Amino acid sequence: MPKLIFHGHATCTLEAANGSRILVDPWFEGSPVADIGLDEVPDPDFIFCTHGHEDHFADAIPLARRSGATLVSTFEIVSFAQEQGIENAHPMHIGGGYDFPFGRVKMTPALHGGAVAGDESGRFTTVPGGFLFDLGGVRVYHAGDTALLTDMQLLRGAVDVALLPIGDNFTMGPEDAVRAVEFIEPQVVVPIHYNTFDLIRQDAEAFRADVGDRARVEVLEPGDSLEL
């Protein structure tokens, strides 16, 4: 059975039905909330990055280099990673999908910034995105960092579990995240990207109450897991 392990902030591991370990937005080194250190991260088979900001991408290249995992992100981020010596990489872009060994993934729109951490040349900027994973019939949407988008309505009926940012300031806040739940109509919602810093401090239990019976809200602490 697929499983989600939450590592804090927006970082999570998805364990697919075929045994693949899929790490999304890896940020361990320097994260004030990560459940484990970078050296303790089990080697993933795939690393997916929604965008290039440090708190979603900082450990992607070190982990890909160490593990040999396939790094998946936008064409621009993958091009940057390849310049850093990463050989196993798969470029995608918004609206595109691909059948990986563990299941199909589609890259979805997000509205956020496009800088790529570590790119001192400034040549590699990109648009942010999210990912819709189909893990053998369980559909997981990691929204990445985003504002509320009316495009989310196109996901209605296609998502079982939605990981949505609620931190406000840099992403949508709780009120807009509730609207996103109305747009998407997932069965389960996992709030992410909050309480890492004072600027994005939120009350997850209040968010759960505001969602009400629209979906089941699973508030995960770093290190918690959820059977999907």
pTM reported for the whole predicted model: 0.96
- The pLDDT assigned to 117 comes to 75
Report the distance separating Cα 21 and Cα 44, nearest Å: 5
What's the whole-number mean pLDDT along residues 70-78?
96
- The pLDDT assigned to 136 comes to 86
Q: Which of 27-31, 50-54, 57-61, 115-119 has the weakest average pLDDT? A: 115-119
Q: Which of 63-72, 123-132, 184-193 has the weakest average pLDDT? A: 123-132
CATH number, residue 105: 3.60.15.10
The gap from C-alpha 154 to its chain's centroid, in whole angstroms, comes to 19
- The pLDDT assigned to 118 comes to 76
- The pLDDT assigned to 53 comes to 93
- The pLDDT assigned to 119 comes to 63
214 lies in a domain? yes
- Number of domains present in the structure of the chain: 1
- DSSP assignment of 20-89 equals -EEEES---TT-SS-SS-GGGSPPPSEEE-SS-SHHHHTTHHHHHHHH-PEEEEEHHHHHHHHHTT--SE
Pairing of strands 21-24, 46-48: parallel
What's the whole-number mean pLDDT along residues 216-225?
98
What's the whole-number mean pLDDT along residues 3-27?
97
228 lies in a domain? no
Report the distance separating Cα 195 and Cα 223, nearest Å: 15
226 lies in a domain? no
Domain that holds residue 135: 3-220
194 lies in a domain? yes
227 lies in a domain? no
176 lies in a domain? yes
* pLDDT surpassing 80 at residue 123: no
